[in-house]
Structure 1
Amino acid sequence: MTTSPLILLAAGGTGGHLFPAEALGVELMRRGLRVRLATDARALRYSGLFSKDMIDVVPSATVRGRTPWSLAYTGITLAVGTGVALNLMRRLKPAAVVGFGGYPTLPPLLAAKLFGIPGLIHDANAVLGRANRFLAGRVSAIATSLPGVLDRDPELAAKATTVGTPMRPAILAAAVVKFVSPEANGPLRLLVIGGSQGARVMADIVPPAIEMLDPSIWGRLILTQQVREEDMARVRAVYDRLKINAELAPFFSDLPARLASSQLVVSRSGAGTVAELGAIGRPSILVPLPGAIDQDQFANAGVLAQANGALRIPQVEFTPERLAAELSALAADPARLTAMAAGARTVGRLDAAERMADLVMKVAKI
């Protein structure tokens, strides 16, 4: 009995990398292929497509500093990871290895290169991430979520295909839900999310901004906000005092459905968030994470802003006064929210998983 070809997916152990890998895995399995995931130990907490018996943990490390010790530690860890990945290639003999970004993709894709196994990378950001930038010249094909990512590098652009960001089934289901414009003086559903690195600034800025709004808006708000446990009491105190209808939690397992039911989103602009806002088509106020070397979140937010689907506010300008002004203007202009939802939707690609799977099968010659 001949077994079907295996595609090894490699991704960093965060949702921004794992969710697109999961979406591609679902599509490849639908086509009769086998899939496994090579990642770091963080992904063992993951409860999506990949069960623990489908996951191979490969040691890796991120460059977190420029000291000799930090660089040596990262180099040694990646070398050990590459050795583990070489054994993985011998054992699994994948038809192709597909990387979704993050330093945990380096060992599997470098091992694939040494074995002559076709390699692909996918980048969801508007600028190529550091790990993918290192790998770009060593793989057979590059898939991007957004057009123009490699326009300044003709050699890499020649092997690049814009496919979008593969969307997990929950997002595809949420994308079917049409945007409902708020009625004048009717309820306004506001969703505030920030991810692990962004929830603190939302806790610092959003409550005082809400307090600055006209009291007539307080009664309209149906607010859902991601809040870290250590910030919960102070955020809750503000909303209770203002009698805001607010649901607060450190994490929402049903975030796609909450995105679909929202009428305005305030968020960081990670690649996954921007792609999901585009796929579902929801207006947003985006606050890029500052300090990133390649300013990827700033560029990501710019894509939605250029499509008139979002307002981009740099964090230095993200004050309670600025946010209150923007919220007041949008609450008074439902037609603008509707137009922003339509603008965001023009960025979304719901067939990205199918397009990515087509590219994988082409490169793997399946």
Structure 2
Amino acid sequence: MTDAPLILLAAGGTGGHLFPAEALGVELMRRGLRVRLATDARALRYSGLFSRGTIDVVPSETLRGRTPWSLARTAVMLAVGTAVSLHLMRRLRPRAVVGFGGYPTLPPLMAARLTGVPGIIHEANAVLGRANRFLSRRVSAIATSLPGVLDRDPALSGKTTNVGTPMRPAILAAAAVPYLAPEPTGTFRMLVVGGSQGARVMADIVPSAIERLDPSLWNRLIVTQQVREEDMARVRAVYDRLGINAELAPFFTDLPARLASNHLIISRSGAGTVAELGAIGRPSILVPLPGSIDQDQFANAGVLAEVGGALRIAQSDFTSERLATEIAALAAEPARLAAMAAYARTVGRLDAAEKLADLVMKVAGI
């Protein structure tokens, strides 16, 4: 195995970047290749495919502002990271470097370009992120999760392949669970997730929306909600007062299974979430994170909304009154929920890891 070709994966230290890298790593290892992960220090807390012995921490810095100090700090850290990555290229001699977005991918992929190693980037969003936009003209190939991302750019579309988002095994297992719409008077299961930048708005809006529902629906509801520790007491107080069957936690380790077991998902629309909702096939109400320079979450949500698999609500319109109206309407129409689940499934790709592995091996000449 030590003589097998090595593929270096580069990803930021968050689940949205690490999970697709892990899924690709699993598939490449199944094909007899070796894999290592170049990332930032956050990934040392990660307990997936990559152990400490297969992780190379590369210094990097996200661009957080336009002040001279911020720009200088980012430039210096990325330069240091590129120097570290050049050493990695000479030591590891990978056949290809695959980046999954985020500023921590810049140093390894720039080092790959400088040393003549083929580079590939994977874009999970419906629009190119800033790091991938910078790298797009400096790599050998581009893989996208969603169709049409670069159709308007002839210089890039020729080296772009739509493969989908590689799915970790837990998502593939959840995708095998068929969607069963709620009975007209039966239990109605609702999952509310927000992520690190979204749980506060869900804590502000969802409990008061549920309070506006007809009490007959309260008795049917089983709510599972991601809630930050600082919001836990106030959210719990509302649900206890209404007699709602609710499970609240800051984080769920078994989120794929929970996605599969609920009738309706209320969530932000990060790339990973949208891809997983499509792969599993579940109806959703999506509230894009506002204020993004690229408006990537708005575009991501549109992919599901345009096929009828989700309702997209801008945060400015995400009021308790609006949400209560939407929940009540969906709960009253099980057939509509089932149709939304089926439409969402048309967007999903379960073979993405295999397709991306094919592309990587082609580019690497393996």
Superposition TM-score, scaled by structure 1 size: 0.99
Shift of 1:152: 1.4
Matched with 1:316 is: 316
* Alpha-carbon distance in structure 1 between the residues aligned to 2:18 and 2:2: 29
The CA RMSD over aligned residues, in Å, is 0.7
Matched with 1:51 is: 51
The alignment status of 1:35 with 2:39, answered yes or no, reads: no
* Alpha-carbon distance in structure 2 between the residues aligned to 1:258 and 1:45: 23
Matched with 2:238 is: 238
Matched with 2:151 is: 151
Matched with 1:91 is: 91
Matched with 2:170 is: 170
Shift of 1:185: 1.0
* Alpha-carbon distance in structure 1 between the residues aligned to 2:223 and 2:343: 23
Distance 1:243 1:2, change over 3 A: closer
Secondary structure at 1:197 match in 2: coil
Secondary structure at 1:195 match in 2: coil
Spell out, residue by residue over 1:121-164, the C-alpha distance to the aligned partner (whole angstroms, 9 max, x if none): 00000001000000000000000001100011111001000000
Spell out, residue by residue over 1:215-268, the C-alpha distance to the aligned partner (whole angstroms, 9 max, x if none): 000010111000000000000000000010000000000000000001100000
* Alpha-carbon distance in structure 2 between the residues aligned to 1:91 and 1:331: 58
- Partner AA of 2:187 in structure 1: P
Shift of 1:69: 0.2
* Alpha-carbon distance in structure 2 between the residues aligned to 1:16 and 1:250: 17
Shift of 1:202: 0.2
- 5 Å-filtered alignment, 1:120-139, equals 120-139=120-139
Task: Give the gaps of 5 or more residues in structure 1.
Answer: none
* Alpha-carbon distance in structure 1 between the residues aligned to 2:2 and 2:262: 48
Spell out, residue by residue over 1:96-133, the C-alpha distance to the aligned partner (whole angstroms, 9 max, x if none): 00000000000000000000000000000000100000
* Alpha-carbon distance in structure 2 between the residues aligned to 1:258 and 1:51: 26
Distance 1:136 1:233, change over 3 A: same
Matched with 2:113 is: 113
* Alpha-carbon distance in structure 1 between the residues aligned to 2:175 and 2:189: 17
* Alpha-carbon distance in structure 1 between the residues aligned to 2:76 and 2:2: 39
Matched with 2:160 is: 160
* Alpha-carbon distance in structure 2 between the residues aligned to 1:94 and 1:68: 36
Distance 1:346 1:251, change over 3 A: same
Shift of 1:2: 6.7
Matched with 2:17 is: 17
Matched with 2:219 is: 219
Q: Percent same amino acid among aligned pairs? A: 81
- Partner AA of 2:224 in structure 1: T
- Partner AA of 2:207 in structure 1: P
Task: Give the gaps of 5 or more residues in structure 2.
Answer: none
Matched with 1:101 is: 101
- Partner AA of 2:183 in structure 1: E
* Alpha-carbon distance in structure 2 between the residues aligned to 1:210 and 1:61: 41
Matched with 2:356 is: 356
* Alpha-carbon distance in structure 1 between the residues aligned to 2:131 and 2:110: 11
* Aligned length, in residue pairs: 366
* Alpha-carbon distance in structure 1 between the residues aligned to 2:121 and 2:235: 41
Matched with 1:81 is: 81
- Partner AA of 2:225 in structure 1: Q
Matched with 1:301 is: 301
